[in-house]
Structure 1
Amino acid sequence: MTTKKKRAKARDGEATRQALIDSAAALFAAEGIDAVSVRAINAAAGYGPAATHYHFGSKDAILHAVLLDYGSAVLARIHALASELNDSVEVPSAEEIVRVLAVPYQEFLEEDYVRAEQWLAICGQLSLANDERLFSPMEDDDTAVIIGQLLERAFPDVDKDQRDQNFSLAANTLIAMAATWARAAGGAESASAHRLDSLSIFIAGGLSSLMERRRA
């Protein structure tokens, strides 16, 4: 095979992978991850019954690819904001820590509403089910460690396990509600962004209250 043909084949392969990822994202968001079959993903993308297995190997693998393809920029932004906040000499507030997550979600909604809505819907499903696959794209970075450091600085008198549990509840609520509101907006990007900002304030208050109860 000539170099030119190899390049053309590689481009075709990437196009197929992207089509499968986009089809899977739309189906996972609309019908639910568990309800979607590999056969349905292949059919929606317009490929044969073996396409997903050939390019990804399994349904879990294409789910991981969806989370990474749609959310990589969001995760990078979360890491950057968490690092910036952690570098500050000021003790972080609960609202500032929650906004480390909320601001990238809001920016994604404003930049690409359709992809953001689908990604949030998928993350919301995994979050509500406490499904560890939600965190698979973060396995190779230290974002969770940095957020843990922020929580320790903000709430030093609270036990680490309790801090982590409280923040997990706050983060899961943020993701689930952001997904619900994004879908309900039906394309009203600015409305979703405004609601997400209000939700961040509400969740930060709840997080602070939970932490204060553990101090008492």
Structure 2
Amino acid sequence: MQLYSFFNSSTSYRVRIALALKGLPFEYLPVNIRTGQHREAEYVQGINPSASVPALVDGAFMLGQSLAIMDYLDARHPEPRLLPQAPEQRARVLELASLVACDIHPVNNLRVLRYLQDVLKVTPEQKDAWYRHWIDEGMAGVERLLARHGTGPWCFGDSPTLADITLVPQVANAQRMGCDLSAYPRALAVFAHASAHPAFAKAAPAQQPDYTA
């Protein structure tokens, strides 16, 4: 398998965690989204029509979008499972994962922040305020879900799931952007526990071949 990835992309980070948890080898192919490589015709036409990272190539099969990729990996390589089989547990994991992937990440990703800066001409202070606002909105929801339904050292139980895989990169990015996350102790506890796990550590941005400080 091949993974088109950018070290600091939280969506790429998710897939790297999934691959590491399942022990699946892959070739890392860097795509620099800061310089616009993900929008180049060769990449868009040949690899990922959505002009984004990550993209997974498995033989003749190509797939973009991190949630779709992780569902594919779960179907092709079921152990360890990222999504529980029991309907209630599966739904709970997807609830939290969707909160991160659909409510927090899309409004704070690089293309949105650049649009705010380059097109709408907001100040750096306004851009930072935007980022912090949506982090707080989303993380408050995450914390409430964990307080009501969370158990064990992970989001939901004694093993990592899709919920943890989506939460950890989001927390890492928020910390990198200087957000105060002290109001979300349960989420921070999950993050700390996950960060000590070999698969999560292996997938971290600083461990990737295209990492730059």
Query: How high is the TM-score relative to the length of structure 2?
Result: 0.30
Name the structure where helix makes up a greater proportion of residues.
1
More strand by share: 2
